[in-house]
Chain A
Amino acid sequence: MSKPGKYPVRIPRKTLNRCFFMLLVLILTLQFQEVLGVQRFPRPEFESGYVQPETLQPSARSGVLAIVDVLILIISLAVVSWLVIKRRSRLLVFWFSLFSLVYFGFYRQGCICSIGAIQNVTLGIFDSTYIVPITVIAFFILPLVFTLFFGRTFCAGVCPFGAMQDLVSFKPQKLGARMNAILGLIPYIYLGLAVLYAATRSDFIICRYDPFVGIFRFDASFGMFLFAGALLISGIFIARPYCRFICPYGVLLNWVSRFSWKHLTITPSNCIQCRLCEDSCPYDAIDMPVTVKNPETKSATTRKFILICLLVPFFTLLGGFTTSRIHETLAKVNRKVALTNMLLETSNNKDQPESIDVTTFKSSGKPISQVYSEASLVLKQFYTGSWILGCFLGLVIGITLAYRMVMIYRTDYIPNKGTCFSCTRCVDYCPVERNNEGLTK
C-alpha cells in the first residue's frame, strides 16, 4: 500500500482508467447505499475496550394472556348469568361489575372489547386478506350466545362501559316512551356506519370515537375527554346513556335478547300487579300492563295494518334514496378518496403548499390515473353501501313507528327483553316470594 501524497508524478493511463472506474463504482454504491443498507461511515474499531450496548427489543403482551382474557370472559358471563337468573342478587351483580370494570376496563384498558369486535368481524367477512384474531371472534360471539340463552347479562356485569356508567347513575329520570324511541335510533345509525366503514376498509369508527377508553388509559384527547365527561355527567340523570343511545353492539344484543331462552323476571313467581316495581328500572325497560276497557275495533286494526304495510316500505326506500345522495360525503373518510381529493385540490390551486401525502404520492411514481380508478371503485362501493345503510335505517324507523302504533295487551309487569340490561334492580322491589304463588312477604 502506498501512502497518499507519495504517488509517482506520471500515472500510467491504464491505472488512471481503473481509478476512474473504481470511483464510479464508489459513487454508485454511495447513491444506492440507503437501499442496500450499507454504512456511510464504517464501524469504528475501539481501542479503549468500549462494549457496544445491545439494541433492546421489548416484546409484546404474550399470546397466552389473550387466551386468559377469553377464559375470564367465559367465566364472567357464566357467573353473571347465574347471579342474574338463579341468585337474583343485585348486590352480587354490582360487585361483579366492579371486577369487570377493573379487569376489562382499567387493566385491559378497554381493548379488547366486544363492541369494537363488530368491525373486525365485518372486515373479516368483506376483506379476504384480513385475518381476524381468534380472540376477537370469541369476544364478538360469546356475549351474543350467552344473550341468546340468558338475556343481556353481558351488559349487566361484564361490559366495563356499563359498569362505569352504573356507578354514576344516582338520580335516574324517566325519559318517556317517545324520547326513548327517538334516541334509540342513534345506535342503529352508529352500527350501520361502523359496518359500512369497516366493510369498505375505510376506518374503525367505533374504536376511534370510543369515549371510555381514554378514561381507562388516563390518556384521552381533549375532545374525547369532553365527550366522556358529558356522558358521565348526563349519566347521573339518564342512566347508562352510552349503552342505551349509542352502543352499536347493544343493537345486536337487543335483537338476540328478544328471543332469549331464559330471561330475568321481575317476580320469582306470579305478578300480583302491586306496582311496586313500576319506578324501579332506571332504563325505562319495564313494560307496564296495558288493559283497556274498549279494545280497538276490527276495522281500526285493519286500517292500521294497511297503513303500516305502506309506511314501512316507504320509509325504507326514502332512507335508501336519501343516504345514497350523500355517499360521496360519507366516502371522504376513506384514505384513497381523501388522497384523490387532496390531489385534485393541489392541482386546482397551486399557491397552497402541498401536503405530505401528496408529496409522498408524487415521489412514489404511481400513475395518478391508478389512484383515480381506485377511488372511483371505492365510491361505487360506498354508493351500494349507502343504499343498503339507508334502507336499513329507513326500515328501523318504519318498524319503530309501527311498534308505537300497535297496541300490545299485557296484564303483568315484565322486563322488555330487548332493552333490559338484566341489572336485577327491579327484583328487590318485588314482594312476591319464590315458590309461593301470590303470597306476600
Chain B
Amino acid sequence: MNRRRFLTTGIRASILAGIGGAGAMVASKAGAEQLVWQLDPAKCLQCGRCATDCVLTPSAVKCVHVYAMCGYCDLCGGYFKPDTKTLTTAAENQLCPTSALKRKFVEDPFFEYTIDEPLCIGCGKCVKGCSSFGNGSLQLQVRHDRCVNCNQCSIARNCPADAFSRVPLSKPYLLKQVNEESQAAELTGKKGSSDE
C-alpha cells in the first residue's frame, strides 16, 4: 500500500508539473492585450462570403460608411444597379438586396447615403459598387458589438483574400481613411491642368 501511495503521489506531482509546464510554455508568449478579429478593406474583394460564412445570422460583418470619404454622388455606384435608368429609390434600382442602404437628398446635386445596420447582411455588393465607381467610402468591417470573437473566425478561414487578421482590442477597426496629403496633391494637379 505504501508503494502504491508513493506512485500515485509521484504521478500526481508529475501531472501538476506537466500542466504547469505546458501552461507556462504557452503563457510565456501570451499577449497582455486581448485580440479581436477584423478585416482589412484594402485587401477585401467583396466576394460575398462574409454574409454566408459567419457563425451568426446575419453576419457580424456589416457595411460601414466613412462619410468623410463620400462624394455624395447622385449616381452612386454603391446604391444603384449598374443598368439603372432613372435615379429613384425604387426597389428595382437598388443594389442592396435588403434595402439597408438609405438615400437622402441633402442639397442639389448631393445625396447622403446611410446604412441601416440591422438590415445589413454584409454581402458587400454596395462596397463593390462604391469601390469600382466611387470613392470607396463604403467598406466592410467586423462590427464588434455583434462579433462573438470566435477562437477561429469562420469567415477568416474561407476568405479568399486573406483579409482577416487579429487586431488589438484598443484599435479594433481597420477603416480606409481619406489620405489628405495625396488628395490635396490631386486637387492642385487638377487646378494646374485647368489653368492652362
Q: Is there a chain A Cβ closer than 8 Å to B89's Cβ?
A: no
Which of A38, A125, A134 touches B179 (beta carbons < 8 Å)? A38
> Assuming A125-B26, A132-B26, A207-B152, is B34 touching A63 (CB within 8 A)?
yes
Size of interface on A: residues with Cβ below 8 Å to B: 77
Query: A92-100, A137-145, A273-281, A387-395: which lies at the B interface?
Result: A137-145
**Would you give the shortest CB distance from A70 to chain B, in whole angstroms?**
12
> Assuming A55-B64, A356-B47, is B149 touching A60 (CB within 8 A)?
yes
In the complex, chain A residues 81-115 whose Cβ is within 8 Å of any chain B Cβ: 109, 111
Q: Is there a chain A Cβ closer than 8 Å to B87's Cβ?
A: no
Q: How far is the CA of A207 from the CA of B39 in the complex (A)?
A: 21
Q: Is there a chain B Cβ closer than 8 Å to A34's Cβ?
A: yes
Q: Is there a chain B Cβ closer than 8 Å to A370's Cβ?
A: no
**Would you give the shortest CB distance from B63 to chain A, in whole angstroms?**
11
> Assuming A26-B193, A39-B71, is B27 touching A132 (CB within 8 A)?
yes
Which of A48, A58, A140 touches B107 (beta carbons < 8 Å)? A48
Query: B78-86, B93-101, B118-126, B169-177: which lies at the A interface?
Result: B169-177
Q: Is there a chain B Cβ closer than 8 Å to A296's Cβ?
A: no
> Assuming A43-B68, A356-B45, is B135 touching A204 (CB within 8 A)?
no
The interface bits of chain A over 1-33 (1 if a CB of B lies within 8 angstroms of the residue's CB, else 0) are 110100000000001001100110110010001
The interface bits of chain B over 52-68 (1 if a CB of A lies within 8 angstroms of the residue's CB, else 0) are 00011100000011111
Chain B: CB-nearest residue to A120: B151
Chain A: CB-nearest residue to B143: A58
> Assuming A36-B182, A50-B106, A55-B67, is B25 touching A125 (CB within 8 A)?
yes
**Would you give the shortest CB distance from B102 to chain A, in whole angstroms?**
12
- Are B135's CB and A41's CB within 8 A? yes
Q: How far is the CA of A43 from the CA of B137 in the complex (A)?
A: 11
Q: How far is the CA of A141 from the CA of B118 in the complex (A)?
A: 39
Which of B149, B175, B182 touches A61 (beta carbons < 8 Å)? B149
Q: Is there a chain B Cβ closer than 8 Å to A170's Cβ?
A: no
Q: How far is the CA of A29 from the CA of B190 in the complex (A)?
A: 11
Q: How far is the CA of A206 from the CA of B56 in the complex (A)?
A: 17
Q: How far is the CA of A140 from the CA of B19 in the complex (A)?
A: 9
From B8, B34, B106, B194, name the one whose CB has the most chain A CB atoms within 10 angstroms.
Answer: B34
Q: Chain A contacts of B55 at CB under 8 A?
A: 213, 217, 219
The interface bits of chain A over 116-130 (1 if a CB of B lies within 8 angstroms of the residue's CB, else 0) are 100111001100100
Q: How far is the CA of A47 from the CA of B72 in the complex (A)?
A: 14
Q: How far is the CA of A116 from the CA of B190 in the complex (A)?
A: 57
From A56, A131, A255, name the one whose CB has the most chain B CB atoms within 10 angstroms.
Answer: A131
Which of B147, B154, B161, B182 touches A38 (beta carbons < 8 Å)? B182
In the complex, chain B residues 155-196 whose Cβ is within 8 Å of any chain A Cβ: 157, 160-161, 166, 169, 172-173, 175-179, 182-183, 185-187, 189-190, 192-196
- Are A26's CB and B148's CB within 8 A? no
Q: Is there a chain B Cβ closer than 8 Å to A261's Cβ?
A: yes
Which of A26, A137, A204 touches B190 (beta carbons < 8 Å)? A26
Q: Is there a chain A Cβ closer than 8 Å to B11's Cβ?
A: yes
Q: Is there a chain A Cβ closer than 8 Å to B91's Cβ?
A: no
A-B contact pairs, 7 of them (CB 8 A): A1-B195, A37-B136, A39-B186, A125-B26, A131-B166, A137-B23, A219-B57
Please give 13 more A-B residue pairs, beta carbons under 8 A apart, in addition to A59-B145, A335-B157.
A29-B189, A46-B106, A57-B173, A61-B149, A109-B148, A119-B151, A131-B31, A134-B30, A134-B31, A145-B16, A203-B152, A219-B57, A256-B19
